[in-house]
A and B are shown apart, each in its own frame.
Chain A
């Protein structure tokens, strides 16, 4: 403790001595060389500063400042969040089993027969409308079809237990499977 105090005093003394020497060396330079501003400069400085304050507090400057500090970062954050949610949400299965994906496992001839089912397609429908209605079948129709033609074991692989129960219940009802 004593040693530290002593060390502190030595440093302080050295500091004072050095500062005194710097002042002495500095004196060898003529003070006029520093070019201090004139009185008019100080008056003018206040006027110019006040003008800058007026400019900074004007509505346009404030809205620009608000846009820069709040709005732009806010929009950027929201867009980044949405992009993140869209592409990187964890736990979302890439291939969700839908009726459409189940149907896509079926032979094309079987699908054609479904599409050409007169009960499903009105003769007056356009190609676009047919496209929109392509997979718009009732659960019963699909269950019927799968019971006869479908590869039920492959389709069932990607289904949840609840979905499987529902489908098998329907299959049992319609096909009379025990």
Chain B
């Protein structure tokens, strides 16, 4: 039996069949997880972004008109949530750095957890973490997911020219970061010692 298309599954979900949505999650959860993880840089946040992406998509399925593919639409939600997570983290970290405000906030960062995260991050994950958020998203979608500029433009709702410039800068920064880490011995060989 032919598997149902995304559009057919969406129609079933609209008719109230939750099992059809579980099938859609099966189809795309890994790709959503990885795009989130590469942008946010850690498993915990990626796990949360993945779940939130599917919840938001479910609630907004009535608004999905099918102008783009379901996956492009899902990717847009995932990328936006991932970027929001980074922003939230930056704001929290800024507040924690403030001596006055930091005292009133709960501890958000377990130092041992951070060290572990840094140790387990790949060389490339660490390089991506250095990029500004827009370049990070473009890099992940182009380099890892190998999406076309047209698709990325739909996901990020931006111009192709701007995307090309962002990707170019991101590639150059990542390459420099990798070269530096390998040359200075912070790379994989250093960790093996």
- Expressed in whole angstroms, the Cα–Cα distance for A62 and B50 within the complex equals 21
Q: Which of B4-12, B51-59, B66-74, B78-86 lies at the binding interface?
A: B51-59
Query: Closest CB-CB distance, A34 to chain B, in whole Å?
Result: 5
Q: Is the interface of A mostly helix, strand, loop or mixed?
A: helix
B65 within 8 A of A: no
A28 and B188 contact, Cβ closer than 8 Å, known pairs A18-B175, A34-B125, A56-B59: yes
- Expressed in whole angstroms, the Cα–Cα distance for A57 and B124 within the complex equals 39
- Expressed in whole angstroms, the Cα–Cα distance for A37 and B42 within the complex equals 12
Query: Closest CB-CB distance, B175 to chain A, in whole Å?
Result: 5
Chain B residues near A19 (CB-CB < 8 A): 143, 171
- Expressed in whole angstroms, the Cα–Cα distance for A21 and B52 within the complex equals 35
In contact, A53 and B54 (Cβ under 8 angstroms): yes
Query: Closest CB-CB distance, B55 to chain A, in whole Å?
Result: 5
> What band does the interface of chain B fall in when counting residues whose beta carbon is under 8 Å from A?
35 or more
Q: Is the interface of B mostly helix, strand, loop or mixed?
A: helix
Which among B43, B123, B164, B174 is the interface contact of A37 at CB below 8 angstroms? B43
Query: Closest CB-CB distance, B185 to chain A, in whole Å?
Result: 12
In contact, B59 and A22 (Cβ under 8 angstroms): no
- Expressed in whole angstroms, the Cα–Cα distance for A147 and B52 within the complex equals 81
- Give chain B's interface residues, CB within 8 Å of chain A: 18, 21-22, 25-26, 29-30, 33, 43, 47, 50-52, 54-55, 58-59, 120-125, 143, 164, 167-168, 171-172, 174-175, 178-179, 182, 187-189
